[in-house]
Amino acid sequence: MLTDLNWKGRCAKMILVFVVGLFIGSFLNVCICRIPNGESIVFPSSHCPGCGRSLTPWELIPVISFIIQGCRCKGCNRQISWRYPVVELLTAAVFAAIFTRFSGIDFYIHVLFYGVMIVILFIDLENQIIPNSLVLLLLGLSLLVQLFWPVQPWTTALLGGLLGGSLFLLLAIVSRGGMGGGDIKLVTVLGFWFGWASLLLVLFLAFLGGGLVGGILLLTGLKKRKDGIAFGPFLVLASFIVTMWGKQLLGWYIGISGL
């Protein structure tokens, strides 16, 4: 009986986390739209980018309002981007997944970290940039965690940052700008966050994913060899995989390699 109650309570909390994640995802959409343009994420209130009409509370309900409105603005009939419900659902799913892995302060730290990472993912995907303000926010969070809730020695964190920054700076030089400055800064922070060992796994997964997707885009003719592909999304996805299942992946690799 006690086990059933604990399981039901856990499920109820996960549903709550998912719903809250939907609303936070709605706010992240605002950040994705405004930060690249240097606009305030607070003022003015949410409005249609086409006609400028302020949105009513009913139009701000995540996902549901998108469906009810038929994917279009009630004022000007402009089509609403599918990115809005995708970000909301993705944020909710990521938060729910984090809830299954972390609790207490660790849960809130990772929710904040990946909330920012989701914004970085979509800004880089749409604009091919990673804003410095978001990288600095991640750096500040990483420093706070290292100061008050450290999970690794300072030497490990610093070596991770140095390794990531140096490696991607070298790649940028060799590729003559093929790797952007935003990627260099983000990987430096990720190195500090994960430490050098886990960073290597993040980079392996990111390059593997980037190579596979890039190859598919080339084969299908959607991209040409000289076309740029945003690398930030692959770093974000790889980071989340390592956060959730990094130890299992390393254990599996060591097992099959015989190390």
Rounded to an integer, the average pLDDT of 72-92 is: 90
Instruction: Please check whether residue 48 is in contact with residue 42, taking contact to mean a CB–CB distance below 8 angstroms.
Output: no
Q: What is the model's pLDDT at position 254? A: 67
Token duo for residue 224 = 């040409």
- Per-residue exposure over 61-94, b if at least 16 CB sit within 10 Å of its own CB, e if not: bbbebbeeeeeebbeeeeebeeebbebbbbbbeb
Rounded to an integer, the average pLDDT of 89-110 is: 97
pLDDT, tens only, 100-113? 999 999 999 999 99
Q: Is the pLDDT of residue 120 over 60?
A: yes
* 42-51, 148-157, 168-177, 198-207: least confident range: 42-51
Q: Is the pLDDT of residue 89 over 90?
A: yes
Mean pLDDT of the chain: 90
- What predicted TM-score, i.e. pTM, was given to this entire model? 0.93
CA gap 2, 171 in Å, rounded: 55
* 22-36, 64-78, 198-212: least confident range: 64-78
Q: What is the model's pLDDT at position 258? A: 54
Long-range contacts of 93-101 (CB under 8 A, 24+ apart): 93/18, 93/21, 94/21, 94/118, 94/240, 95/17, 95/18, 95/20, 95/21, 95/24, 96/14, 96/17, 96/18, 96/21, 97/244, 98/244, 99/13, 99/14, 99/17, 100/14, 101/243, 101/244
pLDDT, tens only, 125-135? 999 999 999 99
Q: What is the model's pLDDT at position 47? A: 79
Q: Is the pLDDT of residue 177 over 80?
A: no
Q: What percent of the chain has pLDDT over 70?
A: 95
Instruction: Please check whether residue 134 is in contact with residue 35, taking contact to mean a CB–CB distance below 8 angstroms.
Output: yes
Q: What is the model's pLDDT at position 43? A: 84
Rounded to an integer, the average pLDDT of 72-87 is: 88
Q: What is the model's pLDDT at position 251? A: 79
pLDDT, tens only, 29-40? 999 999 999 998
Long-range contacts of 210-219 (CB under 8 A, 24+ apart): 210/234
CA gap 27, 181 in Å, rounded: 26
Rounded to an integer, the average pLDDT of 173-187 is: 87
Confidence of residue 2 (pLDDT cuts 50, 70, 90): very low
